[in-house]
Structures are given as C-alpha cells and as structure tokens.
Amino acid sequence: DFIKNMITGTSQADCAVLIVAAGTGEFEAGISKNGQTREHALLAFTLGVKQLIVGVNKMDSTEPPYSESRFEEIKKEVSSYIKKIGYNPSAVAFVPISGWHGDNMLEPSTKMPWFKGWQVERKEGKAEGKCLIEALDAILPPARPTDKPLRLPLQDVYKIGGIGTVPVGRVETGVLKPGT
C-alpha cells in the first residue's frame, strides 16, 4: 500500500527528494539489492521524475556523529546507483542533514563545518547552496505549454458535502483561470 501511494504522488512530481538514512546498517539495508532506497530511486526515474535531491539523514547518529567520511561513502554509493538507473549524479544535490535536530534543513549547521555545500551542473546552468531548502529552491520548474489546449489529467475526485464534487489533477498544458 505504501508503494501504491508513493507511485500516486510521484507520478505528479516535478522533483524527487530521496531521503537516505546514514545510520550504521540502515543505509546498507536501503541500498541492498531489494532495499527501499533503490526501489524508490528507480520508481522516481521510471515515472519520469527528472530532477532528484538526496538528503543523507540521521547524520547525528553516524559513528562518530556528523561523520564526513560516512557522508562521502554514502554519496559515492548512491551516485553510482542513480547513474546506473539514468540520473546524472552531477545534477543531483547531496545534502547531509539531521531532520531530528534540524541540521542543514533550513540553514547551514555548525555541526558539519566540513560540508562546504552542494553544487549541481545541468544544461540550464549551475546551482549551489548549503542546505536542503536551497536545493528545493534550485529545482527548475518544467515548461508547461500554456499556448496549447487545456489538458488536466485527473488524479482523483472528491465529493465534499456542502461544496460539491472537487476534481484533483495537474494542468499539463493550457491555462485554467477562475471564473472561465
């Protein structure tokens, strides 16, 4: 059921954020032959998500805590795998984070002075930053042809009492305006 929900969300996404656990044993389980890290990265690519960000989480639980060598080891292994499935690792931001403590989420962490930031290179140009929010802000919105007829594939339809039927989808081409 979790994978079904992931596919539903991912099929509508412009970017995937792959969260990888840095804890000893956790990363290895996720990147193993049938691990969730591999499965989620492959699904994202297969479903057409062209932009990827990798958050290396739980940096506070590495040995020693906030280990640069552990981050680099994970970055190297994940880069190798995502390259095999079709992503360009130089266009992927790798950010060491601790969601629990908020390290490198919204502002640079003092606990990882070794991390000088992430850089991505893509045909549209370069981008760089130090934390996860900056990587999200650097995502390029895909071109959606507004000069073409309206195409709005529906993902779901909700019937809400007192409001009525509410269709849910994403505008692929064309334009929707209130009152028209």
- Strand pairing category for 93-96 and 154-160: unpaired
Which is it for the CA torsion 132, 8, 153, 87, positive or negative? positive
Same domain as 34, residue 62: yes
Picking from 49, 63, 53, the residue whose alpha carbon sits closest to that of residue 93 is 53
Same domain as 150, residue 89: no
pLDDT digits (tens, 9 = 90+) for 142-177: 888 999 999 998 888 999 999 999 998 888 899 998
Same domain as 150, residue 130: no
* Mean pLDDT value across residues 28-46: 93
Q: How many domains does the chain have?
A: 2
The whole-number pLDDT of residue 180 equals 61
The gap between the terminal CA atoms of the chain, to the nearest Å, is 38
Same domain as 121, residue 51: yes
CATH of residue 85 = 3.40.50.300
pLDDT digits (tens, 9 = 90+) for 106-141: 999 999 999 999 999 999 899 999 999 999 999 998
Residue 67 in contact with residue 59, Cβ under 8 Å? Answer: yes
Residue 20 in contact with residue 74, Cβ under 8 Å? Answer: yes
Alpha-carbon distance of 67 to 71, in angstroms, equals: 6
Domain that holds residue 36: 2-137
Which is it for the CA torsion 79, 85, 90, 93, positive or negative? negative
Residue 52 in contact with residue 88, Cβ under 8 Å? Answer: no
Same domain as 159, residue 89: no
For residue 12, pLDDT over 90 is answered with no
Same domain as 6, residue 86: yes
Same domain as 45, residue 15: yes
CATH of residue 162 = 2.40.30.10
The whole-number pLDDT of residue 169 equals 86
Same domain as 121, residue 84: yes
Same domain as 151, residue 111: no
